């Protein structure tokens, strides 16, 4: 068995899915999958792969995808080991699938992915701190420095306080049943 995933074009992948020879597995996190996904894809987040395994319906082939294909390719050995079947990567990921005109499900009611929310909030806070620092008082430059320190901490430790705070926002809470 090879330890690399074989690349498939979006059209080749769609053909295999139509013939029911394969199953499409999206390895992105649940917040990414909820907003935009290839029609019929199954969600198996890479972060929980070891804990839950793949737990796939009977399929002879597994086609893995992410947004651009880079995350899938970087984890190819782990994915090949987990599936035990013919293993492929969707070349170009969901972006290529979408550009090929293949069906994509989009849920605009789902919140943006958490990392995008963090990037937007951090960028706005830095911009605000710099503008206020130039126009009102240089002390506002401390806002930009504080955000920079928080991003450095997040990169070094994996703990992102801003993501935790944004996770408490009303738009990120699950809807009541």
SS3 113: coil
Name the residue among 118, 119, 139, 121 with its Cα closest to residue 129: 139
Q: Which of 5, 66, 79, 96 is catalytic?
A: 66
Q: What is the pLDDT of residues 118-176, one digit of tens each?
A: 999 999 999 999 999 999 999 999 999 999 999 999 999 989 999 899 988 888 877 65
SS3 49: helix
pTM: 0.74
SS3 132: helix
Would you call 160 a catalytic residue per the annotation? no
Q: What is the pLDDT of residues 45-83, one digit of tens each?
A: 988 876 556 777 666 789 999 999 888 888 888 888 887
In the predicted structure, residue 87 carries a pLDDT above the cut 90: no
Q: How far apart are CA 137 and CA 84, in angstroms?
A: 61
Superfamily grouping for domain 6-106: Rhodanese-like domain (3.40.250.10)
Domain ranges for the chain, please list them.
6-106, 114-172
Angle between helices 114-135 and 141-157 (to 10 degrees): 150
């Amino acid at each position: 068995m090879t330890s690399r995933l074989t690349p498939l074009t979006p059209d080749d992948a769609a053909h295999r899915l139509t013939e029911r020879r394969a199953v499409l597995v999206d390895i992105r996190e649940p917040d990414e999958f909820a907003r935009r996904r290839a029609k019929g894809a199954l969600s198996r987040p890479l972060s929980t792969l070891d804990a839950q395994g793949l737990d796939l319906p009977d399929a002879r082939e597994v086609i893995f995808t992410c947004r651009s294909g880079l995350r899938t390719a970087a984890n190819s050995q782990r994915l090949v080991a987990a599936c035990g079947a013919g293993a492929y990567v969707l070349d170009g990921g969901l972006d290529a699938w979408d550009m090929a005109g293949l069906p994509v499900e989009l849920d605009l009611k789902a919140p943006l992915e958490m990392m995008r929310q963090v990037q937007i909030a951090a960028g706005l806070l830095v911009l605000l701190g710099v503008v206020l620092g130039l126009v009102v008082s240089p002390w506002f430059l401390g806002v930009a420095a504080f955000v920079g320190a928080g991003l450095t901490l997040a990169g070094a430790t994996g703990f992102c306080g801003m993501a935790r705070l944004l996770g408490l926002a009303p738009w990120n809470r699950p809807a009541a049943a």
